[in-house]
Amino acid sequence: MSGHSKWATIKRKKGALDAKRGKLFTKLIKEITVASRMGGGDPNGNPRLRKAVNDAKGQAMPADTIKRAIQRGTGEIEGANYEEILYEGTGPGGTLFLCEAMTDNRNRTVAEIRKIFEKNNGQLGAGGSAQWAFERKGIILIAKDAATEDQLMDIAVGAGADDYSDQGEEWQVLSSVEMMETVMKALEDAKIAVKSNTAGYVPKNKKEVAGRDAEVCLNLVDTLDDHDDVQNVYADFDVPDEELAKLEG
């Protein structure tokens, strides 16, 4: 899940993504391949590749698999030529969605993404139809027990982070994309373990949804996220705690 809000924990609790290790590996391999193609095959000189390799190792991906993905990206061995696409769409109640994908068949992927939106009371939109409602940010997630609020203020914000927030089971630290490496280094120096870090989209304002709309929004995120070509999904909806409790029950 990539929504980075309290409702994102539902997916993890259900285990729907982590149980599908094959799908997760596919997404990680695509990211390694594209990162290698764009910035070269040396992780030390390619921050995007370094992060992708670290994420893959964190999921116990075999070293040979990682090596082959890098070689496909650099052209040392043959492989699919993936392109990155940002899909934009709407969901129930005027909610907005961004969907980052990597595909070797643009026509197939757009048709499948459009169908997912339509089956969940949504619509795939044109470029710019949803992106205006989001900001591109560095997103850092930290386990709740790994840092105190005072530490985040002193260390993360002190190093250049824009803000931090309580997301239930974890802290979310936001920064400009350019400052993310600096903030990460400060946290590392302070021995504060980071669960994940990525450049992603954060909604400027959140729309509260409840009842059937909340259920459909969550299902839309899950279904998009499960698609083999989709790397990340972002949305601007928020589900109140009492609604989450009903859905989990």
Longest CA span, the chain: 53
In the numeric block, which tokens belong to residue 45?
A: 């000189």
Under 8 Å between Cβ of 92 and 99: no
- Each residue's pLDDT tens digit, 93-103: 999 999 999 99
pLDDT of residue 2: 42
Mean pLDDT over the full length of the chain: 89
Q: Taking the mean position of all CA atoms in its chain, how far away is CA 243? A: 23
pLDDT of residue 249: 66
Please give the DSSP secondary-structure letter assigned to residue 164: E
Query: Residue 8 — pLDDT band, cuts 50, 70, 90?
Result: low
Residue 186 vs residues 50, 158, 160, 170, 190: alpha-carbon distances, Å = 18, 9, 10, 18, 6
Give Rg (Cα) of the chain: 18
Where is pLDDT greater, at 19 or 115?
115
Average pLDDT of 11-17?
50
In the numeric block, which tokens belong to residue 185?
A: 């280094």
pLDDT of residue 18: 52
- Look at the pTM and tell me if it is higher than 0.75: yes
